[in-house]
Structure 1
């Protein structure tokens, strides 16, 4: 198999005296959707923040496209094309939809801003309808569209989506996962970090299950769905 686009080995990370991640190994190849699954508090967001260089790793390595980014500055990580759409959306509520999107290309792909704006508006027509509206007045689903659109403005080589379905209605969740599948079909590599196991495994090629800061299961989506313990713990079947 070709070299992984993202390769994580022995990753340990945490906050102050608390170690959250305890030796994580994970690979993601170009063009893949890989799901990182786990309940609230399992360490998913800490993993995302450490890979994105927002939290400094205590041990282990993170390589992206062959380069060691374990100790890189987060701006350099973004410049390489590893783009993180954070949990809770983290939009700028007092800026317009357009201004939020334009900020996505501040570090990377600024020269293609106009073309990428057109692409985002084609994906999310509702954002085009609200281009001048303050982002804080959007619905939860529209804010999630805006957060993903902002990430796409940077022309990501890998898009990390942290709990994108959190707080959305079942109908919007269905729409969101359809969009993620469409982005994957266009060739985008995606790390989908979710509590929604069934929906994630329906679109991911492979998955890892994180519990208490360690990987407990990994394999293809089919293999994980065939694991009795996983089905009982996460799917209730």
Structure 2
């Protein structure tokens, strides 16, 4: 579904990503793990066309997409839910969701809206409410729901658990697992190592803009080097 090879990108001529390679297969949940500042958000932005790659290639669903503009990439079915939610606070929940189908899947808007409400019942309850008045967890559900409105083939989730209480994090990961059960490929980009590895099929660990570890999620969870670096053990 997604193949990234030797990807280099950054800002103002300063590289942040230093030759990253990774893959996401159809129906897979792949975790990309790392601390703040290692390049996770830059990776997402480069894959999504918001930052231009300076070297390497990105192939999505059999087509090379590095060099395409972000709307062109969305039309092909790669949808990125950004860090910080980026909802429209002065629009209603329903209006935010409907905007998710602006570029892709507009003819199926009503059907997809119903599916999102089934997945996130609280959004149905708050459909007419201004998005800015939702709790942090509800806003994250809204951001993911808006992404689902575009009928993605691959959904990139950038730090979905950021700023949420442990209870809400548990609920959010449960909902992501439910979404993935439907066969949607998910690239989960997170600092939350333990729960991400419990959910994912495979994982990559980033440090200083490069992949330092990769493999099956269960194997990485048992790797003493990962425990030492991220779990403090």
TM-score by length of 2: 0.99
- Quote the RMSD (CA, aligned, Å): 0.6
Report what 2:69 is aligned to: 73
SS of equivalent to 2:53: coil
Deviations 1:46-98 (A, max 9, x none): 00000000100010000001100011111110001000000000000111101
Please list every run of 5 or more consecutive structure 2 residues that lacks an aligned counterpart in the other structure: none
Report what 1:105 is aligned to: 101
**2:15 is the alignment partner of 1:19:** yes
Tell me which of 159, 163, 174 is aligned to 1:178: 174
Using the alignment, how far apart are the partners of 1:145 and 1:221 within structure 2?
25
SS of equivalent to 1:172: helix
Tell me which of 44, 65, 85 is aligned to 1:89: 85
Report what 2:49 is aligned to: 53
Number of positions where the alignment pairs a residue of Structure 1 with one of Structure 2: 233
Shift of 1:125: 1.1
Deviations 1:175-202 (A, max 9, x none): 0001111111110100000000000000
Using the alignment, how far apart are the partners of 1:84 and 1:17 within structure 2?
24
**2:119 is the alignment partner of 1:123:** yes
Larger CA deviation: 223-232 vs 191-200 = 223-232
Using the alignment, how far apart are the partners of 2:178 and 2:232 within structure 1?
28
Give runs of ≥4 in structure 1 deviating > 4 Å: none
**2:152 is the alignment partner of 1:156:** yes
SS of equivalent to 1:58: strand
Using the alignment, how far apart are the partners of 2:144 and 2:213 within structure 1?
28
